[in-house]
């Protein structure tokens, strides 16, 4: 971590806007856009103009790291037919314009590798994130049989998955390794493995969903087997200088499910296999990915990141209803996490990283904005003197005449 950094020799720079080095990658600040599915792939599950515009906004908006949403490692592992994939050459090539743009802006870009498991062939978020309905199928949505650790569905009404054999589990390691190789070839700065929210790897971890009796089931060590083998395989495909993230559901939120003690042990094992950052989310083992059985409030998942950081001695990323600059800064100052992921609030305001810099007293003359925008904003400061702040907040003096 950096300390004692100053802004023009005047005041210590907020931690939120200090660089962070992870392996050979130095992020310009600690603000991250986490993976968020938008179901807008181009034909062939490729990356097109939508993602270039959508994710490019966050580079222009000042974020240090932006993740491409959950991207399928194989076709059967797509959450639905509108998801991105990275199992073939055409898909690899499709990401290159986006990656080039992000790097020109000085923003690092990562990809989340994912497999829907027993939640594959389900609705988009906008449809409800549940099982496909007759109405969905009549409208043309595609359906296929998903796979999972057992033949038990996510919940009543969901598709019954086909149980992966032991040999298919071993082959799955190679599937993820190939996807990682493709991500490296595309030019991504970092990779995240999705082991959260009830998707394939989360369903192997949780005793709620994994009741197998082979080497990939049973006790916690057995249930961690496939995710850990995949983490090892992905790490082997990556340059030594490239960081590896893993997103976890820190708790299932069910009494007999995966819990924080499990997550700490898992994080230690991941660290031993070359994982650099644990991205601490929660829930999703039953029902929709966002239907966590965890009470929600400001920063509700920050304690998960704090405990993993302390007890597994690994870099962590906090996420979950982080709405204000001071709240995000406090997370870092209190050593609860090293990175702060801003999901829905970044959707509300793609320039929020720049705005938070103003809120924390730096970037006063828009010097860190992309010059195409910062030039205009800096020049209007004198225009606003006397009736508004540099950021455009109107100063009301006395009563406004009616």
For the domain that residue 227 is a member of, what is the CATH number? 3.20.20.70
Residue 12 lies in a domain: no
Residue 284 lies in a domain: yes
Count CB-CB contacts under 10 A for residue 325.
22
Burial class (CB within 10 angstroms; exposed 0-12, middle 13-18, buried 19+) of 10? exposed
With a cut of 60, say whether residue 35 has pLDDT above it: yes
With a cut of 50, say whether residue 5 has pLDDT above it: no
Same domain, 242 and 301: yes
Burial class (CB within 10 angstroms; exposed 0-12, middle 13-18, buried 19+) of 383? exposed
Residue 267 lies in a domain: yes
The secondary structure of residue 112, as a DSSP letter, is E
Number of H helices, E strands in the chain: 14, 14
Residue 11: predicted pLDDT: 60
Scan for tokens 């792939």, then name that residue.
41
pLDDT tier at 400 (50, 70, 90 boundaries)? low
Same domain, 177 and 31: yes
Q: Annotated active-site positions, please?
A: 199
Residue 287: predicted pLDDT: 61
Same domain, 358 and 374: no
Query: How many independent structural domains does the chain possess?
Result: 2
pLDDT tier at 111 (50, 70, 90 boundaries)? very high
Residue 15 lies in a domain: no
Compute the mean pLDDT over every residue in the chain, rounded to the nearest whole number. 93
Residue 118 lies in a domain: yes
Residue 10 lies in a domain: no
Residue 1 lies in a domain: no
Same domain, 296 and 337: yes
Residue 27: predicted pLDDT: 98
Q: Across residues 154-181, what is the average pLDDT?
A: 97
pTM, full prediction: 0.94
Q: Across residues 205-225, what is the average pLDDT?
A: 97
Report yes or no: 391 and 358 within 8 Å, Cβ to Cβ. Answer: yes
The whole-angstrom separation of Cα 197 and Cα 118 is: 11
With a cut of 70, say whether residue 160 has pLDDT above it: yes
Percent of the chain with pLDDT over 70: 94
Q: With the CA atoms of 217, 121, 46 and 135 taken in that order, what torsion angle do they form, in degrees rounded to the nearest 10?
A: -170
With a cut of 50, say whether residue 1 has pLDDT above it: no
Same domain, 282 and 375: no
Same domain, 380 and 289: no
pLDDT tier at 17 (50, 70, 90 boundaries)? very high
Residue 14 lies in a domain: no
- The token duo for 166 is 């032991």
Same domain, 225 and 291: yes
Residue 7: predicted pLDDT: 47
Which residues, in sequence order, are CB contacts of 344 under 8 Å at separation 6+?
Answer: 36
Q: Tens of pLDDT along 295-316? A: 888 999 999 999 999 999 999 9
Residue ranges of alpha helices (H) inside 238-360 are: 260-272, 302-312, 325-333, 344-348, 352-359
Same domain, 34 and 60: yes
Residue 8: predicted pLDDT: 46
pLDDT tier at 6 (50, 70, 90 boundaries)? very low
Burial class (CB within 10 angstroms; exposed 0-12, middle 13-18, buried 19+) of 221? exposed
Q: Across residues 340-346, what is the average pLDDT?
A: 96
Give the domain extent around 376: 370-394
Same domain, 266 and 156: yes
**Closest among 110, 106, 65, 57 to 86, alpha carbons compared:** 110
Same domain, 145 and 229: yes
Count CB-CB contacts under 10 A for residue 254.
16
The secondary structure of residue 76, as a DSSP letter, is G
Residue 4: predicted pLDDT: 41
Same domain, 383 and 289: no
Scan for tokens 């082979």, then name that residue.
214
Separation of first and last alpha carbons in the chain: 54
Same domain, 217 and 179: yes
With a cut of 80, say whether residue 3 has pLDDT above it: no
Phi first, then psi: give them for residue 130, nearest 5 degrees: -105, -165
Q: Tens of pLDDT along 275-292? A: 999 999 999 887 655 554
Report yes or no: 372 and 104 within 8 Å, Cβ to Cβ. Answer: no
């Amino acid at each position: 971590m950096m300390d004692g950094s100053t802004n023009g020799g005047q005041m210590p720079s907020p931690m939120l806007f200090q660089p962070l080095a992870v392996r050979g990658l130095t992020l310009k600040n600690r603000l991250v856009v986490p993976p968020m599915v938008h179901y807008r792939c181009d034909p062939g599950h490729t990356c097109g103009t939508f993602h270039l515009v959508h994710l490019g906004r966050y580079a222009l908006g000042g974020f240090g790291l932006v993740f491409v949403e959950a991207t399928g490692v194989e076709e059967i592992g797509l959450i639905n037919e509108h998801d991105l994939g990275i199992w073939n050459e055409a898909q690899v090539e499709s990401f290159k314009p986006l990656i080039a743009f992000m790097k020109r802006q000085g923003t690092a870009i990562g990809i989340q590798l994912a497999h829907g498991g027993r939640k594959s062939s389900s609705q988009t978020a906008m449809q409800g994130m549940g099982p496909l309905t007759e109405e969905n199928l009549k409208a043309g949505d595609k359906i296929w049989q998903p796979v999972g650790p057992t033949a038990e569905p996510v919940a009543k009404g969901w598709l019954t998955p086909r149980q992966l054999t032991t040999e298919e589990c071993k082959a799955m390691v190679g599937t993820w390794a190939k996807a990682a190789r493709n991500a490296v070839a595309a030019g991504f700065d970092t990779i995240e493995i999705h082991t959260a929210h009830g998707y394939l790897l989360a369903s192997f971890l949780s005793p709620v969903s994994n009741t197998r009796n082979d080497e990939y089931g049973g006790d916690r060590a057995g249930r961690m087997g496939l995710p850990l083998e995949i983490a090892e395989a992905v790490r082997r495909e990556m340059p030594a200088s490239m960081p590896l993230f893993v997103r976890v559901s820190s708790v299932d939120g069910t009494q007999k499910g995966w819990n924080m003690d499990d997550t700490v042990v898992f994080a230690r094992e991941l660290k031993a296999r070359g994982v650099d950052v644990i991205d601490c989310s929660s829930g999703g083992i039953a029902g929709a990915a966002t239907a966590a059985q965890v009470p929600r409030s400001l920063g509700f998942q920050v304690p998960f990141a704090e405990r993993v950081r302390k007890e597994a001695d690994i870099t962590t990323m906090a996420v979950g209803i982080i709405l204000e600059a001071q709240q995000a800064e406090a997370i870092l100052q209190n050593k609860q996490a090293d990175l702060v992921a801003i999901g829905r609030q970044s959707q509300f305001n793609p320039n929020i990283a720049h705005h938070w810099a103003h809120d924390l007293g730096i970037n006063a003359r828009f010097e860190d904005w992309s010059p195409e925008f910062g030039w205009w904003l800096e020049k209007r400061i004198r225009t606003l003197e006397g009736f508004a702040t540099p950021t455009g907040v109107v100063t009301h003096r006395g009563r406004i005449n009616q």
